[in-house]
Structure 1
Amino acid sequence: MDTKGLDYVALALIIIGAINWGLIGFFQFDLVAALFGGMASWISRIIYAVIGIAGLYSLTLFGKVSQNNYNS
């Protein structure tokens, strides 16, 4: 099964999450909450959950990277 597209979507979501955490850490500004009505709004919670799932999915990328390096 080719999961290359899913890998790119997960990577994009992880980058969005990392940028949001960077903004929180440096400027105490939560971009997701600002755009979607606060941390308690249902849409913000869905976005946080999807980004979290993408982070968990990215754990499978370690196997793919090491497998590709081993076969090269």
Structure 2
Amino acid sequence: MTTLKRIALTLVIIGAVNWGLIGFFQFDLVSAIFGGQDAALSRVIYSLVGISGLFCLAILFDPMTDTDEDTGSGTVRTNNVNYGTEFSEETDLTRVKEDNPEDKNE
């Protein structure tokens, strides 16, 4: 994950926590820390959270890439799933028993 994506995600999480506090407790943490909703620094934080939300919205619709990564255990884990199966002929045991004359005596 790139640094810009991490910063945007962090700001979106801050905004989500702030909105949760507003919804549950009617307490605006950002305005309490930075001097009210009309303070310049609070407005900067609100603006950065909003821009980060738009950026994360764009990330949501980016196609995910499948990459191989080393898990450290000596195995390579991939996100590519192989749903193929192997088919083989099963031995029909009833036919084998009928064809074997020794089994008929039993």
**TM-score w.r.t. length of structure 1:** 0.84
- Residue 24 of structure 1 deviates from its aligned partner by 0.3
- Residue 60 of structure 1 deviates from its aligned partner by 1.4
Structure 2 gap ranges (5+): 68-79, 81-106
Runs of 4+ in 1 over 6 A off after TM superposition: none
The alignment partner of 1:40 has SS state of coil
Count of paired positions: 68
Higher helix proportion, which one? 1
Amino acid at match of 2:40: W
Taking the TM superposition and a 5 Å limit, the aligned residue runs for 1:25-64 are 25-64=23-62
**TM-score w.r.t. length of structure 2:** 0.59
Structure 2: how far apart are the matches of 1:70 and 1:37?
45
Structure 1 gap ranges (5+): none
The alignment partner of 2:64 has SS state of helix
The higher radius of gyration belongs to 2
- Residue 63 of structure 1 deviates from its aligned partner by 2.5
| Structure-1 residue corresponding to 2:64 | 68
Structure 2: how far apart are the matches of 1:63 and 1:4?
16
Taking the TM superposition and a 5 Å limit, the aligned residue runs for 1:12-31 are 12-31=10-29
Q: Considering Cα pairs closer than 8 Å and 6+ residues apart, tell me whether 1 or 2 has the greater RCO.
A: 1
